[in-house]
Amino acid sequence: MKILILGAGAVGGYWGARLHQSGADVTFLLREKRAEKVRKDGLVVKSPKGDAVVPAKVVTKGSEGGPYDIVVLACKAYDLDSAMDSIAPAVGSGTTIVPMLNGHAHFATLDAKFGAAKVAGGLARISGMLGPNGEILHSGASGVSFGERDGKPARASLVELEAACKKAGIEGGINANINQDLWDKWIMLATIAGMCSAMRGTVGDIMETEDGAAIVLEMLDESSKVATAEGHAPSDKVLAGLKTMLTAKGSKAVASILGDMEKSGAAEGKQIVGDMLGRARKHGIAAPNLRFAYAHLQTYEARRARGGLK
């Protein structure tokens, strides 16, 4: 099986590096600058599960080496349009696209471009970030989930991808209810991204305030009501786990969106928080905390657009 991964950041880079180490046929589709770095120095991984320098296969055009059996999109949600253009030449009649983007809005766009039958559901729970020299700083969790969005049994290529993941020590694999898993992650993301970006701190920092825990739980409740209205209510077990995680005193957990903002970079505010708010309004659900958080993120983007962050 031939796997193409667009992106070599914390998610795509770590996942692809481990697949490569286990013998999978993995190629990375990268921008010229990143490709040159990886060709020269290898894909550098620093992880509690073992450091590695992987001599990864790299291309800068989707037309090179394809078509592929699996194409993984491991980019930011705001890069979706350019990502689709990049992978289009790599997609053949038997290709399965596995997007690992945050939120849900990307599915409609991908379906319109490639056809719903080609697009599986996917999400990553891989903790890490890129270091100053482009190295992948993996910090713990290393799980992925993927599956058929229509609830049918997984196609052969996903079964083979799951086997490759297990061989590589990547947790997770096929989830027969990937849609629920996507919603469970999204309500967590909308809450932590909205709060960490607005409060400019970690979960632990927010818990040091008088009303931080209460506001976090209010935002989680707003997002959970949206998921319920969309037919994907989180289970009591999932909600209990999220409440514990999102209100843990001293926690260093933080949304990656805060790091993007602190670097004056683009942020996934529209895809993570804005889309959740839009769905709340569609269903007539009051969401004052999501409303405030998204207005804050929009203000950041407006200021960034006029160069006011420099």
Q: Which CATH number belongs to the domain containing residue 223 in this structure?
A: 1.10.1040.10
pLDDT in tens, 78-135: 999 999 999 999 999 999 999 999 999 999 999 999 999 999 999 999 888 888 888 9
Q: Provide the residue range defining the domain that includes 258.
A: 180-305
Q: Are residues 170 and 29 part of one domain?
A: yes
Peptide bond into 67 cis (omega under 30): yes
Residue 38 pLDDT level (bands cut at 50, 70, 90): very high
Q: Are residues 9 and 28 part of one domain?
A: yes
| 270 catalytically annotated | no
Catalytic residue among 40, 57, 76, 185: 185
Q: Is residue 239 part of a domain?
A: yes
Q: Are residues 267 and 164 part of one domain?
A: no
Q: What span, in angstroms and rounded, lies between the C-alpha atoms of 97 and 75?
A: 13
Kindly state the helix (H) or strand (E) to which residue 192 belongs, with its residue range: helix 178-199
pLDDT in tens, 175-228: 999 999 999 999 999 999 999 999 999 999 999 999 999 999 999 999 999 999
What is the CA 102 to chain-centroid distance, rounded?
A: 4
CB 92 within 8 A of CB 66: yes
Single residue among 132, 147, 175 that ends a domain in this structure: 175
Q: Residues of 66-77 as b/e, b for ≥16 C-beta within 10 angstroms?
A: bbbbbbbbbbbb
